[in-house]
């Protein structure tokens, strides 16, 4: 027993000297907040772990900024039709899932400008025709045709490979072979197409290039 609390000359009664213990629930609140903060920080880091996600976030911010400036600052300074530019960039740089999210954000910004009478039917039709809608599950894909051209090819080459990224959203993190344990490398699921060229460098025609199948999937570092 505390001698000071028992001494009548101490000046404080025994009841005043008793300090109640902190309630367990009160101690659990800061720990829960710290765990939630750590989880939130981990989720934020995961969202920007790949270049694709970083580019998607930048394009989304540009789209939102265009919609707000066109509605509240001046449509002559920035027209709502400028939102078509992030969509075009996203079609070239983003994976399908990130592109769908970007199109949805652009649709929301466009609807916002329409409600405030800042975007007319011409802009709406143009952006709607540019944004390729996602394909439904188990349906024929909505394809976009493009042409890739290479120049300055070694005329003596007989075999070459084309690596295509963006067809799958699969990815993996591995150690950097140069600095293992210090840096990580993002490897995307990539389709590899092999070709061989018949003939020699003096007789070059497109018919001489043949597909050397089958195609195969691999995880390669992002480029």
Rounded to whole angstroms, how far apart are CA atoms 123 and 118?
10
User: In whole angstroms, how far apart are CA 119 and each of 42, 82, 175?
Assistant: 39, 11, 48
Residue 17, pLDDT above cutoff 70: no
**Which of 57-66, 120-129, 168-177, 214-223 comes out lowest in average pLDDT?**
120-129
Across the strands, what pairs with 217? 191
Model confidence, pTM: 0.43
Is pLDDT above 80 for 65?
A: yes
Check whether 5 has a pLDDT greater than 60: no
pLDDT at residue 73 greater than cutoff 50: yes
Confidence of residue 2 (pLDDT cuts 50, 70, 90): very low
Q: What does the pLDDT read at residue 154?
A: 83
Evaluate whether 220 touches 188 at the Cβ level (below 8 Å): yes
Q: What is the pLDDT of residues 141-163, one digit of tens each?
A: 666 667 777 777 788 888 889 89
Query: What's the chain's average pLDDT?
Result: 75
Helix (H) or strand (E) holding 24: helix 24-47
Whole-number pLDDT of residue 20: 57
Q: What is the pLDDT of residue 194?
A: 93
Whether 119 and 80 have beta carbons less than 8 Å apart is answered as yes
Q: Would you say 87 and 106 are in contact if contact means Cβ atoms under 8 Å apart?
A: yes
- Asked if pLDDT for residue 23 goes beyond 80, the answer is no
Q: How confident is the model at residue 52 (pLDDT cuts 50, 70, 90)?
A: confident
Q: What is the residue extent of each domain of the chain?
A: 47-130, 159-221
pLDDT at position 217 is 92
For residue 182, pLDDT beyond 90: no
d(CA 187, CA 151): 27
E strands within 63-208?
A: 159-164, 171-175, 184-197
Residue 1 has pLDDT above 80, yes or no: no
Q: Quick check: 192 pLDDT over 90?
A: yes
């Amino acid at each position: 027993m505390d001698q000071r609390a028992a001494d009548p000359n101490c000046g404080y009664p025994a009841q005043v000297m008793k300090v109640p213990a902190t309630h367990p629930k009160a101690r659990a609140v800061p720990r829960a907040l710290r765990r939630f903060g750590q989880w939130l920080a981990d989720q934020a880091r995961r969202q920007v772990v790949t270049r694709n996600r970083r580019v998607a976030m930048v394009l989304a911010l540009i789209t939102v900024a265009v919609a707000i400036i066109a509605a509240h600052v001046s449509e002559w300074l920035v027209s709502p039709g400028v939102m078509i530019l992030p969509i075009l960039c996203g079609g070239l740089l983003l994976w399908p899932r990130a592109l769908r999210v970007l199109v949805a954000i652009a649709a929301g910004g466009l609807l916002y400008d329409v409600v405030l009478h800042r975007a007319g039917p011409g802009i709406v039709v143009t952006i709607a025709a540019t944004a390729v809608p996602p394909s439904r599950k188990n349906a024929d894909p909505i394809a976009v045709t493009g042409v890739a051209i290479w120049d300055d090819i070694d005329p003596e080459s007989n075999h070459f490979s084309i690596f295509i990224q963006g067809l799958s959203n699969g990815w993996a993190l591995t150690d950097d072979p140069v600095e293992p344990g210090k840096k990580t490398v993002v490897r995307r699921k990539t389709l590899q197409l092999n070709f061989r060229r018949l003939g020699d460098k003096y007789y070059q025609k497109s018919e001489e290039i043949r597909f050397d199948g089958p195609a195969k999937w691999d995880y390669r570092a992002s480029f």
